[in-house]
Structure 1
Amino acid sequence: MAFPSIASAQGTPPLETEVLFRNVRVFDGVGPSLSGPTNVLVRGNHIASIGPQVRSTSGAKVIEGRGRTLMPGLIDVHVHLTFGALTQQQMASPDLTPEKAGKAAAANATGTLMRGFTSVRDVGGPIFELKQAIDSGRVNGPRIWPSGPTISQTAGHGDYRTPDEGPRRWTGKASRAELMGAGYIADGRDEVLAATREALRFGASQIKVMAGGGTSSDYDPVDVTQYTLDEMKAAVDAAEDWGTYVTVHAYTSRAVRRAIEAGVKCIEHGQLLDEDTLRLMAERGIWLSSQNLVESTDAMSPQRREKRKPVIEGQARLWPMAKRLGVKLAWGTDFLFEPELNAQQNAYILRLKPWFTSAEILKMVTHDNAELLALSGLRSPYQGKLGVVQEGALADLLLINGNPLANVDLVGNPANFSVIMKDGRVFKETT
Structure 2
Amino acid sequence: MRLKTCLGCGVVVLASLWLSLAHAADKAVLFENVFVFDGRSSERGRSPVNVLVVGDTIQTISAAPIAPPADADLTRVAGGGRTLMPGLIDAHWHSMLIGQKLVDAMTSDVGYTNLRAAQVAEATLMRGFTTVRDMGGPVQGLRRAIEEGRFPGPRIFPSGAMISQTGGHGDFRLPHEVPRAASQGLSHTELTRTAAIADGADEVLRRTREQLMLGATQIKLMAGGGVTSIYDPIDATQYTQDEIRAAVAAAENWGTYVTVHAYTSRAVQVAIEAGVKAVEHGQLVDEETVRLMAQKGIWWSLQPFLDNELANPQAGANRVKQLMVAAGTDRAYALARKHAVKVAFGTDILFSGDNGEVQNARLVSLERWYPPGEVLQIATGNNGALLELTGERNPYRKPLGVVAEGALADLLLVDGDPTADLSLIKRPESSFVLIMKNGRIYKNLLP
Distance 1:273 1:248 in 2: 14
Question: Percent of aligned positions with the same letter in both sequences?
Answer: 49
Counterpart amino acid of 2:380?
T
Question: Are the aligned partners of 2:306 and 2:329 in contact in 1 as well (CA < 8 Å)?
Answer: no
Aligned to 2:370: 356
Deviates more, 1:406-415 or 1:288-297: 288-297
Are 1:201 and 2:213 an aligned pair? yes
Task: Give the one of 38, 42, 45 matched to 1:28.
Answer: 38
Question: Are the aligned partners of 1:347 and 1:412 in contact in 2 as well (CA < 8 Å)?
Answer: yes
Are 1:76 and 2:90 an aligned pair? yes
Task: Give the one of 17, 38, 41 matched to 2:49.
Answer: 38
Aligned to 1:49: 60
Cα displacement (A) at 1:346:
0.6
Task: Give the one of 238, 259, 268 matched to 2:280.
Answer: 268
Query: CA offsets, 1:322-345, max 9 Å, x none?
Result: 111010100100011013371111
Cα displacement (A) at 1:38:
1.0
Distance 1:259 1:170 in 2: 30
Cα displacement (A) at 1:370:
0.4
Structure 1, unaligned runs of 5 or more: 1-7
Residue 98 of structure 2: SS of its match in structure 1? helix
The 5 A counterparts of 1:30-429 are: 30-35=40-45, 36-53=47-64, 54-57=66-69, 59-93=73-107, 96-168=108-180, 170-295=182-307, 300-340=314-354, 342-415=356-429, 416-429=431-444
Query: CA offsets, 1:245-301, max 9 Å, x none?
Result: 000000000000000000000000000010010011001000100101243757633
Query: CA offsets, 1:197-227, max 9 Å, x none?
Result: 0000000000000000011111100000000
Question: Are the aligned partners of 1:157 and 1:220 in contact in 2 as well (CA < 8 Å)?
Answer: yes
Aligned to 2:25: 15
Counterpart amino acid of 1:39?
N
If the length of structure 2 is used for normalisation, what is the TM-score? Answer: 0.91
Question: Are the aligned partners of 1:151 and 1:208 in contact in 2 as well (CA < 8 Å)?
Answer: yes
Distance 2:187 2:312 in 1: 29
Counterpart amino acid of 1:334?
D
Distance 1:163 1:259 in 2: 28
The number of residues matched between the two structures is 422
Question: Are the aligned partners of 1:359 and 1:405 in contact in 2 as well (CA < 8 Å)?
Answer: yes
Distance 1:37 1:393 in 2: 19
Question: Are the aligned partners of 1:15 and 1:44 in contact in 2 as well (CA < 8 Å)?
Answer: no
Distance 1:16 1:120 in 2: 25
Counterpart amino acid of 1:384?
K
Question: Are the aligned partners of 2:204 and 2:247 in contact in 1 as well (CA < 8 Å)?
Answer: yes
Residue 342 of structure 1: SS of its match in structure 2? coil
Question: Are the aligned partners of 1:168 and 1:175 in contact in 2 as well (CA < 8 Å)?
Answer: no
Counterpart amino acid of 1:105?
A
Structure 2, unaligned runs of 5 or more: 1-15
- Describe the shift of the 1:98–1:341 C-alpha distance in structure 2 as closer, same or farther (beyond 3 A): closer
If the length of structure 1 is used for normalisation, what is the TM-score? Answer: 0.95
Counterpart amino acid of 2:44?
L
- Describe the shift of the 1:236–1:180 C-alpha distance in structure 2 as closer, same or farther (beyond 3 A): same
- Describe the shift of the 1:326–1:398 C-alpha distance in structure 2 as closer, same or farther (beyond 3 A): same
Query: CA offsets, 1:131-168, max 9 Å, x none?
Result: 01110111110010000101111111111112222344
Distance 2:254 2:17 in 1: 33
Cα displacement (A) at 1:59:
4.3
Residue 85 of structure 1: SS of its match in structure 2? coil
Question: Are the aligned partners of 1:167 and 1:173 in contact in 2 as well (CA < 8 Å)?
Answer: no
Distance 1:136 1:213 in 2: 37
Cα RMSD after superposing both structures = 1.6
